[in-house]
Structure 1
Amino acid sequence: MHSVTVVCLSVVLALLLLLWLKISNLAGTSVRSDVLLVLAHPDDEAMFFTPLLHSLRAQRVTVHLLCLSNGNYAGMGKEREKELYASGAFFGVQRRNIRVVDHTDLQDGMGNVWSPLVIRREVESYMQKAGNISTIVTFDKYGVSGHPNHIAVHNGVRGLKENMPPGLLHLQLRSRSLLFKYVGLLAVLPYVLWSSTSASRTSFVAVIPPASAWESMAAMRKHASQFVWFRYLFVIFSSYTYVNEIEEL
């Protein structure tokens, strides 16, 4: 009886793994190059956007990273800039396509109020420099983790959208409720069971493949100055390690 149970569980796990692999291949984007990912701090890309970055890399979409602060809250801004370049390289982002902003009105800190106008100017400046951005991706109005700097980035990009000509696609990472934020690998389960990854240009789900589930951890290792014990736990149990729900901003 014990052997039968083990065999049955093994078969179920194998089927779930195959379905996960299938759904990760189906999930993804129809986004065209070039994509600008607007972040608040170095390590946001690794902690929150790994499934999306994996999907874009797999589709050979050119990605740009604009980080609106160097994370200098503890006086480690220069070191954290270097860490972002290393993490970007891990995700296949060329160094020339990464900009880290160090502006007096955009300093890292829960109590620091960021100017939407300055954010808009920085994003516009980078877009003019790049010249070929077709899609902007950033946080939603809840800022994923509720960090005020994340929310400010959303507000700044939304203000930019309202003043841009049509044609530029603006997307946001959907924040998950606390109930579903720290379910770890279980975040994949609804998509595996119901294959609910239908995609459009403005709404899609990026699911990390089984063989790449380690990528968020590997990217966070590039941010050595920030990778303390509780961030290990965050990466393991965060649903953003495995699934990104992307929708129109």
Structure 2
Amino acid sequence: MHSITVVCISVVLALLLLLWMKISNLAGTSVRSDVLFVFAHPDDEAMFFTPLLHSLRTQRVTVHFLCLSNGNYAGMGKEREKELYASGAFFGVQRRNIRVVDHADLQDGMCNIWSPLLIRREIESYMQKAGNISTIVTFDKYGVSGHPNHIAVHNGVRELKENMPPGILHLQLRTRSLLWKYVGLLAVLPYALWSSTCVSRASFVAVIPPASVWESMAAMRKHAGQLVWFRYLFVIFSSYTYVNEIEEL
């Protein structure tokens, strides 16, 4: 009886693994190059966007990072800039496609109010320099973690979208409920069992493949100054390590 139970469990786990591999292959996006990620702090890209970055790198899509502060809350801004360049290299983002903003009115901090208009101008400046951005990816209105700087970035991108001609695809990372935010690998389960990973070009799910579950941790290790004990726990149990639900802004 014990042997039968072990065999049944092994078969179920093997099937789930195969389904996981299948949906991660199907979860490729159809967004066009070049893709600009707009976020608030160095390490946001590793903590929240790894599945999508993995998918884009696999498809050889050109990616840009616009980080709207250097994360100087604890006086480590210059070091954190270097860490972001290293993380970008890990994700295949060339250094010339990364800009870190260090503006007096865009400083890291829970109590710092960031102007949507100023954020819009910073994005416009980068887009003018890059010249070929077709897709912008950022946080949704809840900021994923609820950080005021994340929410401000969303508001700035929305300000940009509302004041520019159509043609750019604006995407946002969906904030999951508190319950589903920290379920770890279980975040993959609904998609492995019954959900579609792609609804449209502007609404899809990026799922990290089984062989690449280490990528978020590897990217976070580039941010050595931030990798304190509770961030190890975050990376392990955060659903964003494994799944990105993307929708149109």
What's the TM-score bracket when you normalise by the shorter of the two chains? over 0.9
Query: Which segment drifts farther, 195-204 or 75-84?
Result: 195-204
Aligned partners of 1:20 and 1:192 also within 8 Å: yes
- Can you list the C-alpha shifts for 1:142-170, whole angstroms capped at 9, x where unaligned? 00000000000000000000011011110
Structure 1: give runs of 5+ residues left out of the alignment: none
Give 1:199 deviation, angstroms.
3.4
Q: Percent identity over the alignment?
A: 91
Aligned partners of 1:87 and 1:222 also within 8 Å: yes
- Can you list the C-alpha shifts for 1:217-242, whole angstroms capped at 9, x where unaligned? 00000000000000000000000000
- Can you list the C-alpha shifts for 1:167-194, whole angstroms capped at 9, x where unaligned? 1110000000101000000000000000
Aligned partners of 1:27 and 1:199 also within 8 Å: no
- Can you list the C-alpha shifts for 1:87-141, whole angstroms capped at 9, x where unaligned? 0000000000000000000000000000111101100000000000000000000
Aligned length: 249
Query: Which segment drifts farther, 191-200 or 68-77?
Result: 191-200
Aligned-partner SS, 1:157: helix
Give 1:196 deviation, angstroms.
1.9
Give 1:195 deviation, angstroms.
3.6
Distance 1:226 1:28 in 2: 30
The CA RMSD over aligned residues, in Å, is 0.6
Distance 2:196 2:180 in 1: 17
Aligned-partner SS, 1:166: coil
Give 1:3 deviation, angstroms.
1.0
Aligned partners of 1:23 and 1:195 also within 8 Å: no
Moved over 6 A (4+): none
Distance 2:109 2:63 in 1: 27
TM-score (norm 1): 0.99
Aligned partners of 1:51 and 1:243 also within 8 Å: yes
Aligned-partner SS, 1:195: coil
Distance 1:163 1:169 in 2: 14
Residues 1:213 and 2:210 aligned together = no
